[in-house]
Amino acid sequence: MRKVCFLVVPLFWILCEIFGQQPSPSPSAQEVEISTEQVVVTGQDLPSYNAEDATTATRLPERILDTDRAVQVITQQVIQDRDIIDPQEAAQNVSDVQRGGSRTGIGEVFFVRGFQQTSLFKDGFRSGEASGGDVFTFEGPTDIANIQRIEVLKGPSAILYGRGEPGGTVNYITRTPVFENYFSLDQQFGSYDFYRTQLNATWSPVPGRLALGLDAAYQNNGSFIDFVGAERYFVAPAFKWQIDENTSLSFRSEYTDDDHSTALSLPYDNGHVIPNIPYNRYMGEPDFTNIDTKTFRGLLTFEHRWNQDNVTTLSLNGVNVDADGGNFILFPFFGPLQDPVTGDITRNAEIIDYSTDYFTARLDHIWNWTIYDGGAETITTSKDAKDRGAFVRRSNFPTVKNQLLFSAEFDHQGIDGQRTLSGQAPLNPYHPVYTGYSPQPLIPGFPVTFLEKSSDFADAFSLLLLDRLSFGETLYLSFGGRYEWFNANTKVNYPQGKVPFPNTNNSLDQSTFNPTAGLLVKPTHNLSVYFNYAESTNSFQNIGLTTANGDALEPERARQFEVGAKAEWLGGKLLTTVALFQIEKSNVAVTDPNNPFFSINGGDQRSRGIEFDTSGEPIPGWRVIANYAYVDARVINDPDGSNTGHRLPSVPENSGGMFTTYEIRTGLLRGLGFGGGVYLSGPVEFDIENSGNLAGWAQTDAVVYYQRNRFRAQLNVKNLFDNQFYFPNSFSGFEVQRAAARTFIGSIKYAF
């Protein structure tokens, strides 16, 4: 990589001469502002589907047009017009991002560029694990009340956020209080006894110095699935204290208490969803299969501006999740999943009690300076120059500026808890008789119930350097790397000693380096062409697996090549991104062909494709966001060859969607808006063995609203034609989760 940099840098200087131009007048010192805050908002955003900037891609404040990565933003206006309550709905508005099925039916699972995102992020900090992952996690769902926008970074993000899958990162950006007074109350109601009350408020008791914020919600709902319901309390207080003109302290916190039914899947076997089971059938047990999750999160940020060129930020982020309750897993530990005579479905029960902790301490420093000022130079070599006037020569070389991010970080993740496992009385899905919790041996010869205790932790220390050079307003070069020291341990014990499962105690102590480099050229002010290269590792992914010799597996590694173009149209009212990418993933854990009870690093996977995204307001009142992706994601190498050439699960070859609204701006009908969207997906493979697939699907949504001044009334219809389709469960190979049936949601909102 170092040789590449030495070869490429001289080329950049040559290109600068080719594209050399007079730099635009630089803003004055008073106009320049550097901020490492994730997002700055007011009480309400401008009504747009298009965002000009995003911090997820680089952790540096820069415009999306000037960023050498594919990054998309779901703005507050999109969230409002679609009446998004589950953040997974937002994924439909970004190319090559699909939702998946989670372990219990609760929480979010995203597939980005062919790979499941295993970590969940808020404000750029690790705040959870996907509940469909291998590690036992039971995070509750994310509430939308304090989400200002959702940013999606495509491709590996290890240089910014450490270990993770290479497909991309979905980052929830929460509201920060601002120095103004604002209050809104939103009452929602809808199908299946859905009721939700949400308030958002900010108050500045000391104008320009102190701002207080509060986002809160109460939600109670049933479901199109029999016996399923949920109740949630959410509150998110926050403050910002501008200590002086150069120093600020902000705090964002949230508490969620979510009690939600689980076991929301339908059985899948022999390459298809078991037929003729009613779409609303519940495979759990009322009053038993539900989990209560209590989540607390706090983010404290201290920022000091030493001068106009240097800013230091210290951030402390902590999350605690406690989850307890009951869940069913549809999995045949012995015999078939469905009894061929009675039609009964095998079920297994788990009673869980888990606590999960995340903590991150991060120190960032951004340093800006001008390497070369390509201004004018006055030359007076003639003795009569005073009479003829000075001769002025302007430089042909553009102004060269540098922006350097240095970051040091400590990251901790800990999971501790237990679950009681057992078999469960089977259920006939055609003529169900619910008996409550009725345990039985998981496997003949097992005790009726047995206890499994697990404890996992991961600590990571990392240093990051990310540099960004700009040559005028025509060429941008970024490069950097992250060095991470990673230590982790996982323990699983069966205290009673009466089950054949072995106790495990695996440790991992590794260090990794992940580089990145990017080049962006702007032939015109509204068009950019870019290239980037990035690497990533996922150290925690294989911690529960060992080789036949008892050795820990190596971390999964990946690299990405990406080229793309971005353009702003109609004076910046519409932003379009086109990207071509290839991600190569190696060291994938696979079953040891010589010993099926152990694993080896031997798998290679590749995902490549093309993506298209566009969003904005082409003409006043007409807002649109659309996307399309073609993806070829496959297994490239498998030690025994059984899966070589197979498509990766949960990833459609073709997918896309569009949502649009039009609002009348004049006349008697001013404030009346209407629109809708269509979302499409091709078929997806159910598992890595390609044993079966799930059919493609189409979803149609519609919306009509009326807003005048501070009042807004809205009606949304989701899945208008009541299509039935499914998502694979990323935890179990015998379950699928259902898309929501046709749903009506009305809302009345007042702001003042």
One DSSP character per residue, 473-514 reads TTEEEEEEEEEEEEEEEEEEE-TT--SSPPPEEEEEEEEEEE
Beta partners for 630? 610, 654
What pLDDT digit, counting tens, does each position of 417-441 carry?
999 999 999 999 999 999 999 999 9
- pTM here is 0.89
Residue 269 neighbours by CB under 8 Å, 6+ apart: 336, 337, 338, 734
- pLDDT at position 280 over 90: yes
- Reference 69, options 689, 562, 474; nearest CA is 562
pLDDT band of 10, cuts 50, 70, 90: very low
* Greater model confidence, 107 or 402: 402
**Rounded to an integer, what distance in angstroms lies between the CA atom of residue 397 and that of residue 729?**
56
**Does the CA dihedral 135-141-146-149 come out positive or negative?**
positive
Yes or no: say if 627 and 597 are a contact pair by the CB < 8 Å rule: no
**Rounded to an integer, what distance in angstroms lies between the CA atom of residue 347 and that of residue 345?**
6
Please give the structure tokens belonging to residue 531.
């290239």
**Rounded to an integer, what distance in angstroms lies between the CA atom of residue 560 and that of residue 535?**
6
Please give the structure tokens belonging to residue 227.
């016996």
- pLDDT at position 390 over 70: no
**Rounded to an integer, what distance in angstroms lies between the CA atom of residue 664 and that of residue 667?**
8
What pLDDT digit, counting tens, does each position of 635-680 carry?
999 888 889 999 999 999 999 999 999 999 999 999 999 999 999 9
Residue 8 DSSP one-character state:
H
Amino acid at 375: G
pLDDT band of 135, cuts 50, 70, 90: low
Phi, psi of 472 (to 5 degrees): 65, -140
What pLDDT digit, counting tens, does each position of 105-115 carry?
888 889 999 99
- Reference 364, options 55, 29, 53; nearest CA is 55
What pLDDT digit, counting tens, does each position of 12-42 carry?
333 333 333 333 333 333 333 333 333 333 3
Mean pLDDT of 386-395: 49
CA 393 to each of CA 22, 25, 376: distance values in angstroms, whole numbers, following the listed order:
12, 17, 6
Please give the structure tokens belonging to residue 532.
């980037």
Distance of CA 582 to the CA centre of its chain: 20
Half-sphere exposure of 610 (CA within 13 A, CB side): 3
Mean pLDDT of 552-576: 92
* Greater model confidence, 500 or 445: 445
- Reference 228, options 274, 188, 259, 195; nearest CA is 259
**Rounded to an integer, what distance in angstroms lies between the CA atom of residue 56 and that of residue 47?**
22
Identify the pLDDT of residue 505. 83
- pLDDT at position 191 over 80: yes
Strand, coil or helix: 4 = helix
Please give the structure tokens belonging to residue 672.
């009346």
Mean pLDDT of 373-390: 51
For 207, counting Cβ atoms within 10 Å of its Cβ (0-12 exposed, 13-18 middle, 19+ buried), the class is exposed
- Reference 184, options 50, 88, 76, 78; nearest CA is 76
Please give the structure tokens belonging to residue 259.
């009690």
Identify the pLDDT of residue 497. 64
- pLDDT at position 133 over 60: no
In the chain, DSSP finds a helix count (H) and a strand count (E) of 4, 39
**Rounded to an integer, what distance in angstroms lies between the CA atom of residue 540 and that of residue 38?**
26
What pLDDT digit, counting tens, does each position of 657-667 carry?
999 999 999 99
**Rounded to an integer, what distance in angstroms lies between the CA atom of residue 712 and that of residue 710?**
7
- pLDDT at position 329 over 50: yes
pLDDT more than 70, % of the chain: 89
Greatest alpha-carbon span in the chain: 110
Strand, coil or helix: 385 = helix
Mean pLDDT of 123-135: 71
Q: Using alpha carbons only, what angle is made at residue 210 by residues 204 and 211, rounded to the nearest 5 degrees?
A: 50
Please give the structure tokens belonging to residue 552.
């820990």
Give the other-Cβ count within 10 Å of 129's Cβ. 24
pLDDT band of 4, cuts 50, 70, 90: very low
pLDDT more than 90, % of the chain: 68
Give the other-Cβ count within 10 Å of 285's Cβ. 22
User: DSSP of 70-116, one letter per residue?
Assistant: -EEEE-HHHHHHHT--SGGGGGGGSTTEEE-B-SSS-S--EEETTEE
- Reference 464, options 449, 483, 478, 439; nearest CA is 483
Residue the block writes with tokens 């594919």: 70
Alpha helix positions (H), 566-719: none
- pLDDT at position 393 over 70: no
